[in-house]
Amino acid sequence: YTPDDGENPSGLGLKVDEETGYVHAAISAFGTFDDGGLAVYDLPLTEDREASAVVEASMDMPCTNGNSGCGLANGVAIGGEGVSYVTDSMMGRVFRVENGEMGLVP
């Protein structure tokens, strides 16, 4: 995953969803500790699958000022029914991601 601005974020937390085979990656610009988000990749996990990664979804963490791409995405957890969670270690938040939508966990 490469954002439109050309920066190369780091994948800090990775988790494989064994049901779908998708890899969920917490991504952030490690040098500046911002531009946090979650990317979901479809990777070839067996020999009979195509040998290239496809980004299935990419979501930026919302900022408190209404923009997006804030925080330090760090940890990823996979829940049931296609739900995943990503932590924001910089701002002390946890986000729930479902159906391509990211929302703050109260």
DSSP states of the chain: ---TT----EEEEEEE-TTT-EEEEEEEETTTTEEEEEEEEE---STTS-SS-EEEEEEEPBPTTS-B--S-EEEEEE-STT-EEEEETTTTEEEEEETTEEEE--
- Flag whether the pTM goes above 0.85: no
Higher pLDDT, 87 or 82: 87
Asked whether 74 and 26 are in contact (CB, 8 A), the reply is yes
pLDDT in tens, 13-28: 889 888 877 888 888 8
Mean pLDDT to the nearest integer, 58-75:
78
pLDDT, mean over the chain: 76
Mean pLDDT to the nearest integer, 75-87:
87
Which residue type, as a one-letter code, is found at position 17?
D
Asked whether 76 and 3 are in contact (CB, 8 A), the reply is no
Higher pLDDT, 47 or 11: 11
Give the model's pLDDT for residue 31. 65
